Each structure stands twice: as structure tokens, then as C-alpha cells.
Amino acid sequence: MSKIHSTVSRRDFMKGLGLAGAGLGAAASTTPVFHDMDELIASSGFSGSESYSRYPWWVKEVDKPTAEIDWNLMKPYDMRNSDKWATPELLAKYYAAQLKHTKECILNKTPGSSLKDYALFGGIKGSMMQNVAKVGTPEPNLEYLYPTDTLTSLGLPRYEGTPEENLKMCAAAIHLLGGRDISVVEVDDNVKKVLYSHSAMLMGGKPSRAIVWEDVDNAYETPEKMVIPNKCKWALVYSCPQSQLSRYQSVIMGKFGVFGAYSDIAVMDQRLQKFLRILGYQGVLDGFGGGNSIGSNSGFGVLAGSGEIGRHDYVNSPSFGALMRMSQFILTDLPLAPTKPIDAGMWKFCQSCKKCADMCPSGAISKEAEPTWEPTGVWNGTGRKLYPVDYPKCGPWRGMPPGGIGHIYEAGPGGCSNCQVVCVFTKTPKASIHDVIRPLVSSTSVFNSFFTTLDKSFHYGEAFVTPLGEVNVSPDEWWNRDLKTYPFKGRVMGDGWA
């Protein structure tokens, strides 16, 4: 089942918008004038951050996130509430359905959910449990000398730099490790509310614990609490892009995208934590998203400017749209220059675009025109004016293979991540006209409705349709792909377009 989409040249596309000849500056006086799109795209590299360049010029840095926050209404969310809807009876029912579904798929060799697809998924998921240790290692050795040789034992001082130098250094390191959109939030009393009061319950994992700040030198954990030192005043935030396999919706192969990213995060986190330790600082990790997290990664992502929140309640990254797993954060005492929230026009876009809501099979995503302060239930936090997702509807559709440890939401027969995949901003850098659309969306909302219609007309978001306009292969075809010509390199951290 191969489908070849017609492609649109940049010139034809600009003609269609009535912009050819006038220069893009006619669309928005706030942006530089470019004579053609190649000139515009080649200009990328500007960022308001003085430490290092995060984004192309069309991503504006702003003082406040584009979605409204009322810090007086916000309080640390108790993650034990997040699955209040999930009774043991309901979960047993979902699990039985998941088990039946899995066996049928394997026996019937269902494309995307056959045994080889499960093996592919299982291979990547196996490594995602590595970063459960949140408090960091004791002072490590330098990994090139005797194990007992540490900064202290050798009489060496710890690393010292300005906050700007430190951010630049961390960005360079994290980029190598595989993280993208590297950003920083300075943790004050308001930002502490973005951390949870208690971690979530895990299916088969650790029980919930309180998350508290104390005036201590080193983070520590007890069976009752996870303690963060007050001196960890900075959150280092990064995005991990998901694989293109995420587009194989509702089959286990699609879950490779989700859990492949979790696995990468587990590895990146360990490396980053040790990097900070060898410098002489500590890193307190968020969890891996499996339910044992210490705070809202989306909250940190929005505040740091890793992206803007979307109608689907994920962070939309300017680089990857919704196809990235978490704005992962690590709390550290290494002083870092904070980055600002961003405005790339994406939150504004959501107000006229309801594509993810239209394509959500459970009806969990709001179709209201305006965001609201009102949660749909205790599974939503407070103090943010958003489109709250009705998670009891979503939960049964998400899917989790039998025996897996994961958030209790994940117990279900489905395997849905439609809202991530279909998002208008979830496009690869190779999508021929998307480098035109993104700057325009950032500059003006005039074309927003048109772009949603255009996106739908390209069949983006339908099963197995990639946003390149050229590649559309079924899971079975994917196994037989020509490795010499297939456009994605493979799952390499940081290169999410595998």
C-alpha cells in the first residue's frame, strides 16, 4: 500500500498564498523581509538567548508563556489523583482486552503487531528503566584513573564558569548526548509548584512518595520521600525527538517511537548526571515518564521555552512538533543562565485548529474554541488556562503490552498516540513546504485555518503517512525497505527521524 503524494514547490506554494513577488515581509512587518524562501531558511540561527542559538529567527522569545498561568491558583499537583478514575475492575477489564488483542495479533501476524514487531519494541523498551535512581551518584571518579581518584582525592577544584558559559557547555554536551531544544528554568517558589507534591503510583513499581525540598547538601531518598536540595536552583530541560515509527498508530510498532525515546532519555540522563557530578555538581532527575516523575515535564518545557503547550496537552516543539517525548528536566546546583519561553505562533494556531481533537478516537481532547481555567476532573492540574484533556476517556486507548511497568493510564487495549502524530506541527525538516509554513504561523495567524485544511488534504496523520510527501510504507513494507535509499538513518539519539 504505497501512496505517493504530490509535492508542492516553495514558489508554487507562495504563489498560492499570494506572496510571490511581494516578499514574505508583506505578510508580517515584524519579520525580516526575504526575497525567496531559500534566503529565509538560510537565515536561521538567530535566537534571543545570548548563550547559544536555540532556534531559527522566527521563534520569538517572550517574557511569559503563550498559554496563561495564574501562579496563585497553581499548587503542586498530587499525582496520586491522576489515576483516580482507574478502578481495579476497570484495569482488569482493559488488561484482559489487551492480552486478547496481543495474542490475536501475534497469531494472525498482524502487520505492525506481529511477533517481530513486538521484538523490535521489546528490544528498545528494555533499557528505559535505567534512570530510576534520581538522586545522582556519589562523587564519581574521572573514569580514566583508578576508581578511587576523584576531584576531592586529587585535591582538584570543581569546575567554575559563568551561568552563560555553563549553559553553553551543557548545551554542547547534551546535544552530543542526543537531547535537543536545550533550555533552562530558574527554580523559584512559583516554579516549585510545577513539581508534584507526590509522585504517581506505578503498576508494579515503586509506591508514591512525597517530593520535598530541604536545606541539605545532597539529594536523598527514603521510602516516604524524595528530597531535593534547596541549592538545586536550576532545571536543565531538553527534548528527545521520537522515531517516525510513531506514525504506525494503534499497532505495537508505533509504540517503538514512544518507548524508544524513553530509552534514549534513560541513557542520556545517566550520562548527563555523571557529567554534572564529575564537574563537581549534582543532578536530580525527573523520572522517565513511566509514572514515577517528580514534576510536570510539560510545565518545565513551556517555562524554559522548549516549546508551547498544544490543545493535545503535549509540548509542541518548534523543531519536532508533538513528536517528541517529554521536555525532560534535571535539577542542578550548577548555575545556569535561564532561557525564556517562546512564541512560535503554535498556541495561537491551536485555537482555530482542532485537528487532534477531531482525530482523537476517545473524544478526550476539547473542541472548544477558547481555553479554560476549569479542569475536567482531578486528573488535570490547576492554574493553567488550557484545553484540559479528559484522561479517563484517553486512558483505555493508550495501550501497554502485558507485563510492562508503566503508568496506570497505559493499561488498555489500544495503543493510540494519534494526537501526537496528526498534529499540524509534527513534520520532519524534510517536508518540502513546512519550512515556509512555520515562519508564517509565527508571524501571522491569517493563514492558520487554511494551513489546517491544507494539512488534512495531504492526508497527514492517516495511518502510515509520513510528512515527506514521498514516503508512505506499511509496517510490512518497512521491514523490507531498501536500506540504501530509505530516507531515515536509523534510531540515533537526537536524530529522531528514524
CB within 8 Å of 316: residues ≥ 6 apart: 307, 308, 309, 310, 322, 346, 347, 423, 425
d(CA 327, CA 97): 32
Footprint of ligand SF4 on this chain (CB under 6 A)? 310-312, 349-350, 353-356, 360-362, 364-365, 389, 394, 397-398, 416-419, 422-425
Residue closer to ligand SF4 (CB basis): 179 or 310: 310
Residue closer to ligand SF4 (CB basis): 37 or 424: 424
Q: How far is the CB of 326 from ligand SF4 (least distance, A)?
A: 15
Q: How far is the CB of 177 from ligand SF4 (least distance, A)?
A: 28
Residue closer to ligand SF4 (CB basis): 282 or 366: 366
Q: How far is the CB of 448 from ligand SF4 (least distance, A)?
A: 9
Residue closer to ligand SF4 (CB basis): 136 or 395: 395
d(CA 51, CA 170): 11
Q: How far is the CB of 463 from ligand SF4 (least distance, A)?
A: 13
Q: How far is the CB of 112 from ligand SF4 (least distance, A)?
A: 16
The amino acid that residue 346 corresponds to is M
Which residues make beta-bridge pairs with 227?
A: 212, 220
d(CA 243, CA 401): 19
Cell numbers found for residue 2: 504505497
Distances (CA, A) of 122 to 115, 119, 259, 394: 10, 5, 9, 24
Q: How far is the CB of 458 from ligand SF4 (least distance, A)?
A: 13
The per-residue DSSP string of 384-411 comes to: B-B----HHHHHHHH---TT---BGGG-
Residue closer to ligand SF4 (CB basis): 203 or 235: 203
Residue closer to ligand SF4 (CB basis): 190 or 352: 352
d(CA 238, CA 19): 36
Q: How far is the CB of 83 from ligand SF4 (least distance, A)?
A: 14
Q: How far is the CB of 291 from ligand SF4 (least distance, A)?
A: 16
Eight-class DSSP state of 455: H
Check: CB of residue 315 under 8 Å from CB of residue 66.
no
Check: CB of residue 184 under 8 Å from CB of residue 237.
yes
d(CA 234, CA 184): 7
Residue closer to ligand SF4 (CB basis): 190 or 453: 453
d(CA 418, CA 475): 17
Residue closer to ligand SF4 (CB basis): 60 or 134: 60
Residue closer to ligand SF4 (CB basis): 356 or 437: 356
The amino acid that residue 257 corresponds to is G
Cα 100 from chain centroid (whole Å): 31
Eight-class DSSP state of 61: E
Q: How far is the CB of 472 from ligand SF4 (least distance, A)?
A: 20
Phi first, then psi, for residue 339 (nearest 5°) are -100, 165
Check: CB of residue 285 under 8 Å from CB of residue 276.
no
